[in-house]
Amino acid sequence: ELKIAIIGGGSSYTPEIIEGFIKRRYELPVKEIHLVDVEDGMYKLEIVGALAQRMVEKAGVDIDVILTTDRRSAIKGADFVTTQFRVGGLAARARDEKIPLKYDVLGQETTGPGGFSKAMRTIPVIMDICKDIEELAPNAWLINFTNPAGLITEVVEKHTKVKVIGLCNVPVGMVKMVADMLEVDSEKVSVDFVGLNHLVWGQKLFVDGKDVTKWVLDKLSDGAALSMKNIPDLKWDPVFLESLGMLPCPYHRYFYMTDQMVKDQKKAVEEGRGTRAEQVQQVERELFQIYKNPELQEKPKQLEKRGGAYYSEAAVSLISAIYNDKKQLHVVNIRNNGTLIGLPQDTVIEVTCLIDKTGAHPIQVGTLSPKIYGLIQGVKAYEELAVEAGVKGDYGLALQCLAIHPLVPSATVAKQLLEDILVENREYLPQF
Ligand code: NAD
Ligand code: G6P
Ligand code: MN
């Protein structure tokens, strides 16, 4: 029987993961789910936790859902720990999104300086969580969902003994969207994903063994949707797509259409629509109003307004693949180990892996096209420096890290960004 600890249990996504455990009750004998939050998050945890308890009760499954601020007791003896916490909440995210715009730089939760800022706040907390896991649940798997997911997974991989797999809903989401375009079941679609978190390409796409890459790119050129709720669905240039010859992920717009995306973000702020964090604050208020209804016993439709759709499916199916030794393919964030030539062995990449009881085993991807490897290496170098800067609290490394980010125009701007980020996040950055 399994014990699960979910760190950041007050997240509005919690009904998703609970639904996932309910759906897979016949393959995963979960006995206890501990939803962990901090004092500040208790009011959310109580609302969403009560809904989780009603969901479990309605389904008639024998799972105890425990709400707690005692992280150590939740982690003790856990088989799986999942992380979905947000240090500083959406208010901090809104600042991450706004600071870069002052310098005409992209303001985004995970990509660019906003992602750096979120990482710096998250690193001290993830390190503490890992100390608890090392001590109290050394055999547990950590399924990290906390963003920037690849970078945070790399912190754990490099600086702790915890067994970790990082997870994002983008690859599963892309497969679903491609399946919809082709009007086939998702299981029929296979994609060789490669890259980093939120910087992942589908190199080739197959249905029933037939190469459909060109067909899908043509559809995308014709305006088919391939995006997430949190990313403006700006259309791809057909000539660009054809010459790329691979499927970009929705987040690639931030790199390939930077100017338009920044313009779009500035306009949203000027017109009072606010940054994505500010929009999400509104969605969250609505969601928690709905969650409060004692009649509600299932995940409400309105949760689809968040960008994290299919997250439970990704997380719980991954947990089941490990537990049941399924030897199934999943796209996860994992130690490179020589898979991507040209990147250090101990860095974390996002790639298709075979999942079994012993973890995630990357599928060999061969030599990458120069169309994509430069961008991967550039962003990975930024991530490596961010990991070290955040763990050590090193100003110089932080400056170098921002200065080489492909979306930061100069060292001068990097320094201004860094100063602003350090000042605005002072209470969350004990390491600096
Ligand atoms: P949220 O703001 O609702 O935060 C979730 C909970 O974390 C809150 O209840 C908060 O009180 C709690 N929290 C804050 N600090 C904590 C700490 N030190 N220990 C325990 N709990 C703490 O956030 P959200 O929008 O639900 O997102 C949660 C996280 O999941 C974010 O990091 C987000 O980026 C990430 N996420 C990742 C993906 C992905 O694809 N990997 C998808 C969606 C969300
Ligand atoms: C996508 C990404 C997540 C991200 C989310 C944001 O699903 O994969 O990593 O956290 O979108 O959604 P939100 O609703 O918070 O803007
Ligand atoms: Mn993601």
User: How far is Cα of residue 170 from the mean position of the Cα atoms in its chain?
Assistant: 8
Is the pTM higher than 0.95? The answer reads yes
Q: Tokens 């029987």 sit at which residue?
A: 1
The number of the ligand 2 atom at minimal distance from the alpha carbon of 305 is 14
How is residue 241 written in tokens? Answer: 């797509």
Question: Is it the case that residue 4 has pLDDT exceeding 80?
Answer: yes
In this prediction, residues 373-380 reach a mean pLDDT of 97
Ligand 3 centroid to residue 62 C-alpha, Å: 31
- List phi, psi (to 5°) of 366: 75, -165
Ligand 3 centroid to residue 12 C-alpha, Å: 16
Q: How far is CA 332 from CA 193, 368, 389, in A?
A: 10, 18, 24
Which listed residue (251, 291, 323, 373) is catalytic?
251
- pLDDT at position 227: 80
Going by pLDDT thresholds of 50, 70 and 90, the confidence category of residue 20 is very high
- pLDDT at position 367: 87
Going by pLDDT thresholds of 50, 70 and 90, the confidence category of residue 280 is very high
Tens digits of per-residue pLDDT, 100-137? 999 999 999 999 999 999 999 999 999 999 999 999 99
Of 315, 319, 314, 330, the residue nearest 357 (C-alpha):
319
H or E element in which residue 258 lies:
helix 258-270
> How far, in Å, CA of 329 to CA of 336, rounded?
16
Cα dihedral 187, 188, 189, 193 sign: positive
Of 156, 165, 167, the residue nearest 132 (C-alpha):
156
State whether the beta carbon of 280 lies less than 6 angstroms from ligand 2: yes
User: How far is Cα of residue 169 from the mean position of the Cα atoms in its chain?
Assistant: 7
State whether the beta carbon of 390 lies less than 6 angstroms from ligand 2: no
Q: Provide the greatest CA pair distance for the chain.
A: 59
Decide: residue 2, CB within 10 A, 0-12 exposed, 13-18 middle, 19+ buried: middle
DSSP conformation class of 112: T
- pLDDT at position 307: 85
Give the list of residues 6+ apart from residue 220 with CB closer than 8 angstroms, or none: 226, 236, 241, 247
Q: For a pocket test of ligand 2, which of 147, 228, 311 has the largest count of ligand atoms closer than 8 A to its C-beta?
A: 228
Which of 196-210, 217-231, 285-299, 343-357 bottoms out in mean pLDDT, i.e. has the lowest? 217-231
- pLDDT at position 228: 82
Tens digits of per-residue pLDDT, 321-352? 999 999 999 999 999 999 999 999 999 999 99
Q: Relative to the alpha carbon of 302, which ligand is closest?
A: 2
Going by pLDDT thresholds of 50, 70 and 90, the confidence category of residue 48 is very high
The number of the ligand 1 atom at minimal distance from the alpha carbon of 89 is 2
Q: Relative to the alpha carbon of 45, which ligand is closest?
A: 1
Give the list of residues 6+ apart from residue 412 with CB closer than 8 angstroms, or none: none
DSSP conformation class of 236: P
In this prediction, residues 281-294 reach a mean pLDDT of 94
Give the list of residues 6+ apart from residue 120 with CB closer than 8 angstroms, or none: 386, 389, 390, 398, 421, 425, 428, 429, 431, 432
For the beta carbon of residue 385, count every other beta carbon within 10 angstroms: 22
Tens digits of per-residue pLDDT, 140-178? 999 999 999 999 999 999 999 999 999 999 999 999 999
Question: Is it the case that residue 374 has pLDDT exceeding 90?
Answer: yes
> How far, in Å, CA of 371 to CA of 357, rounded?
35
Question: Is it the case that residue 309 has pLDDT exceeding 80?
Answer: no
Tens digits of per-residue pLDDT, 23-36? 999 999 999 999 99
Of 408, 413, 353, 415, the residue nearest 382 (C-alpha):
408
Q: How far is CA 402 from CA 91, 320, 344, 399, 406, in A?
A: 22, 38, 20, 5, 9
> How far, in Å, CA of 7 to CA of 41, rounded?
11
- List phi, psi (to 5°) of 378: -65, -45
Quick check: is 251 catalytic? Answer: yes
Going by pLDDT thresholds of 50, 70 and 90, the confidence category of residue 229 is confident
- pLDDT at position 232: 87
Question: Is it the case that residue 226 has pLDDT exceeding 90?
Answer: no
User: How far is Cα of residue 112 from the mean position of the Cα atoms in its chain?
Assistant: 15
- pLDDT at position 354: 98
State whether the beta carbon of 8 lies less than 6 angstroms from ligand 2: no
Question: Is it the case that residue 65 has pLDDT exceeding 80?
Answer: yes
Q: Relative to the alpha carbon of 118, which ligand is closest?
A: 1
| Binding-site residues, ligand 1, Cβ < 6 A | 7-8, 10-13, 36-38, 40-41, 44, 84-87, 89-90, 125, 145-147, 149, 167-169, 308, 311
Mean pLDDT of the chain: 96
Cα dihedral 340, 308, 431, 410 sign: positive
- pLDDT at position 210: 96
Q: What is the dihedral of CA 214, 220, 225, 230, to 10 degrees?
A: 100
Ligand 2 centroid to residue 187 C-alpha, Å: 23
Ligand 2 centroid to residue 229 C-alpha, Å: 8
- Please answer whether residues 156 and 144 qualify as being in contact, where contact means their C-beta atoms are separated by less than 8 angstroms: yes
Going by pLDDT thresholds of 50, 70 and 90, the confidence category of residue 85 is very high
Q: How would DSSP label each residue in 345-375?
A: TTSEEEEEEEEETTEEEEPP--SPPHHHHHH
The number of the ligand 2 atom at minimal distance from the alpha carbon of 168 is 8
